[in-house]
Amino acid sequence: MRTTVKKTGRARLAGLALVAALASSTAIAVIPGVATAEPAGGYADLVQKVAPSVVYIEVTEKAPQQMQMMQGFPFQEFSQQFGIPMPQMPQGNDQQQSQNAPAAHGVGSGFIIDSKGLIVTNNHVVDGATAVKVTLQDGRSFDAKVIGTDPVTDVALIKVDATDPLPAVSFDSSQAIRVGDDVMAVGNPFGLGGTVTTGIISAKARDIGSGAYDNYLQTDAAINKGNSGGPLFDDAGKVVGMNTAILSPSGGSVGIGFAVPSDVVQQVVAQLEHGGKAEHGWLGVQIQAVSPDVAAAIGLDKPEGALVAAVNPDSPAAKAGLKRGDIITAFGGTDIKQLHDLPRAVAMTAPDTATKIDVLRAGKKMELNVSVGLMAPQKA
């Protein structure tokens, strides 16, 4: 059985019947879990406090590519094997087909961070949307405008115009939260509306292979498709993460979910709010992991840091004097323990920032000064 990492939204509305059908024909085993320390009297007071700030997001987009996919593998093979007629594409040229293609609908989650209508969600929830509709817990609906998106961190900021102040939540530092702390997820799985699940922080700074800048909180609170963009709360009712992806062999929750840390969300949202885009730092090196043999050869107790495999010409790294074979052990005061620590640290540093790099060159410690560059969109 193949286990895959999936973004948890947008859940396609048309897919709900399929999920229900699969559930009805699959044996479900009830496995006792380890009890966590829940607040006295349960989570009802906490839910009542924060749930009004969590919103249901529905997006609309044109879907000509989806219709084209149905003409090829695996749909064509399925049709031939079982004798089921294939769906027909609209006749005409590509432009006509694009215009006649049915609109696709998907759902996700979000949370209000400002009473004036600013809402945070995932980039992949609103990416490519031609219309975004937001529904509050009290049933009010608004058309939303996308203020800005950041594919690098999968963060998006949208806005609705409301006549009255909206209920907003605040952030807490994800740096302060510990593995084992209680958390609560609120969202819109499979378009069902406000749903609450609880669990703990299972791990921090998790790399799930979805990109060079992975830095997720891992939780066992149940999250599913449609939970994307929803908040992960601490026991004080403050946001410590934004639910984004799950690791699953089936597409449903198996207790391994991932959230963008709140410290990252806040930093990106501040840029999106004032400029509509987020700018990330760029160093200009190709790196690889430090092997045990290399670590032993230069006298390291264990393999740590990022080994410079190549330096891009005319890059900030080249201007700072970095060379092939250098081992970067710290960047801007952040220790580089593992390979992915460096891209994270660089990406979250503002362009044009002057910072220091600690390196080992032929076993000798050095400190270099670098002016961080601007990551081009294609590098994201």
Q: Which of 53, 105, 109, 124 is catalytic?
A: 124
Is 98 one of the catalytic residues?
no
Question: For residues 350 and 363, what is the distance between their CA atoms, to the nearest angstrom?
Answer: 30
Is 335 one of the catalytic residues?
no
- Residue whose pair of structure tokens reads 């085993």 in the numeric block: 29
Cβ pair 145, 117 in contact under 8 A: no
Residue 41 exposed, middle or buried by CB count within 10 Å (0-12, 13-18, 19+): exposed
Q: Which of 228, 248, 253, 262 is catalytic?
A: 228
Cβ pair 184, 233 in contact under 8 A: yes
- Residue whose pair of structure tokens reads 């907003």 in the numeric block: 168
Is 235 one of the catalytic residues?
no
Question: For residues 259 and 155, what is the distance between their CA atoms, to the nearest angstrom?
Answer: 11
Q: Which of 154, 182, 220, 358 is catalytic?
A: 154
Query: What are the structure tokens assigned to 286, written together?
Result: 């190709």
Residue 337 exposed, middle or buried by CB count within 10 Å (0-12, 13-18, 19+): middle
Q: List active site positions.
A: 124, 154, 228
